[in-house]
Amino acid sequence: MDDLVQKAREVQGEFTVDEEFSAGAVGAALRTGAGNIYTGVCIEMACGIGFCAEHSAIAEMLKNRETHIEAVVAVSAQSIVPPCGRCRELMMQLNKANRFTEVAVAEGKVVRLYELLPHWWFEQI
């Protein structure tokens, strides 16, 4: 996971997009089942049209026709940031094997994605 933390820190760094909007406050890195690493940054815009750093990294992964995430981490300037509910749901829906994705939720703490979504709604259908 240390290599992913380093890659996420390399892309993290907030910058101004416009007077009131920014990007890069959170950086993310993920490793796929094939061993490839993809990174992304968050985009902070009005009206909820921005997106999380994990979404950005996932978009890069999907461009390369991969869906299996082995491990993921997001970082701010201060700490590791656990994924929000929207990011957790996206990872879970992409590939059933992602339930076993290693997710960094704090410094030195990694859990499996299924632990963050213990009663996943789609399994009930």
Active site residue 54: yes
Q: Which residues contact 89 (CB under 8 A, 6 or more apart)?
A: 117
Within the chain, how many helices (H) and strands (E) appear? 4, 6
What pTM did the predictor assign? Answer: 0.91
Token pair listed for 83: 């994924």
Q: What is the pLDDT of residues 75-98, one digit of tens each?
A: 999 999 999 999 999 999 999 999
Query: What is the set of domains in the chain, with CATH numbers?
Result: 2-124 (3.40.140.10)
Query: What pLDDT, on the 0 to 100 scale, is given for residue 109?
Result: 97
Does residue 125 have a pLDDT over 80?
A: no
Q: What is the pLDDT of residues 29-78, one digit of tens each?
A: 999 999 999 999 999 988 888 899 999 999 999 999 999 999 999 999 99
Decide the pairing of beta strands 69-75 and 22-32: antiparallel
Distance CA(124)–CA(92), nearest Å, equals: 14
| Residue among 54, 70, 89, 115 flagged as catalytic | 54
